[in-house]
Amino acid sequence: MASIAKTVVATGASSGLGFELVKQLLAQTQPYKFIIGARDTKTTQAAFDGLKYDSSKHSLFIFPLELSNLKTVQTFSQQTLEKVGQGKIDYLLLNAAIAKNANEPGPNGSKWSEAYHVNHLSQHYLTHLLREKLEESRSRIVVVSSGAVRGVEDPSLLEGDVKSASKTERSAYSATKFIQLLGAHWWRRQLKGKCDVVAVSPGLIPGTGLPRSTKAQLPVNHPDAKTVPEGAQSILRAFTRDDFPEDPEQIFLTSWGEWWPKDVYKLTLDKNLQDKWCPSKDEIEKEEGVNA
């Protein structure tokens, strides 16, 4: 009897780690149905076509998604739900990220920086839009995080660090990934008993396009550096691990396959802080001027 295809909805899968992760899943005997959001659908489609995967087993759909524009997030969610139909979303992979400072005006007049939109707000909004289907499907939500969350020492400075045209010298990447982890904790609480939420670090991966918006370059010869295939394997572990710690707040899977002790990311465990940085669907639409 043929296996039932598992459905993966993904952001950040048009290149780098996300592309490699899909490539590895396409090589498995388990059938998959991928629904991928991408800025450049034509180039992304050509890249996946070049893999020569077994299209009789797997299916792959690419829809436009620009995470600096919440209206495209709305459209992508609608197209996703139409394509899923009566089926399930087995996995929601939130992998998109940019390493970009916050010294430019916000997208579409927003008071928030592009990095904040891409790394947190838009993917948080997408989860809101898919929430009913995620709960119905008892999905697993995989949030690709980073050890950079440890770069935030004073959460009271976050707002200034992620606003548009910010003059901060602190890292907007660390700040937005910290807020993203606050969001993972928030969704874990919201979806308790319905969906699993796992945050995972792929490790230090010099071979991705993450730093393309900055002058920074990751050191290839760093002793902790991993290859893109190794980083993708780290993320894939978050798809399959079921040995969850007894403490529900221990949701962070390291690149070496261990559950990170909570004291490493203790500042993200503040529930009031989680609530502050996780606006409702209606609040997002009102503040960002998006019509539902």
What does the pLDDT look like over 11-25, one tens digit per residue? Answer: 999 999 999 999 999
Q: Give me the sheet containing 140-144, strands edge to edge.
A: 59-64, 32-38, 6-11, 91-94, 140-144, 196-200, 252-253
Catalytic residue among 116, 125, 173, 265: 173
Cβ 88 vs Cβ 132: under 8 Å? no
Cβ 88 vs Cβ 152: under 8 Å? no
Cβ 60 vs Cβ 50: under 8 Å? no
Task: Examine the pLDDT at 262 and tell me if it is beyond 80.
Answer: yes
Give the span between the Cα atoms of 256 and 237, in whole angstroms.
10
Give the span between the Cα atoms of 119 and 143, in whole angstroms.
10
Catalytic residue among 177, 192, 266, 271: 177
pLDDT tens readout for residues 57-116: 999 999 999 999 999 999 999 999 999 999 999 999 999 999 888 778 888 889 999 999
- What value does the CA radius of gyration of the chain take, rounded to a whole number of Å? 18
Q: Specify the residue for token string 């149905």.
A: 33
Average pLDDT, the chain: 92
Residue 119 DSSP code: I
16: phi > 0 → left, psi -120 to 50 → alpha, else beta; which?
A: left
Mean pLDDT confidence for 150-159: 95
List Cβ neighbours of 178 (8 Å cut-off, separation of 6 or more). 148, 149, 151, 152, 155, 158, 267, 268
The pLDDT, as a whole number, for residue 2 is: 62
The pLDDT, as a whole number, for residue 145 is: 96
pLDDT tens readout for residues 170-213: 889 999 999 999 999 999 999 999 999 999 999 887 755 554 44
Q: Which of 26, 270, 265, 292 is CA-nearest to residue 18?
A: 26
pTM: 0.93
Cβ 144 vs Cβ 98: under 8 Å? no
Give the span between the Cα atoms of 153 and 161, in whole angstroms.
12
Residue 217 DSSP code: -
Assess whether 125 carries a catalytic annotation.
no
Task: Examine the pLDDT at 215 and tell me if it is beyond 70.
Answer: no
Task: Examine the pLDDT at 4 and tell me if it is beyond 60.
Answer: yes
Assess whether 116 carries a catalytic annotation.
no
Q: How far is residue 170 from each of residues 159, 161, 176, 287, measured CA to CA in Å?
A: 12, 7, 11, 25
Task: Examine the pLDDT at 28 and tell me if it is beyond 80.
Answer: yes
Q: Which of 205, 144, 207 is CA-nearest to residue 177?
A: 144
The pLDDT, as a whole number, for residue 214 is: 44
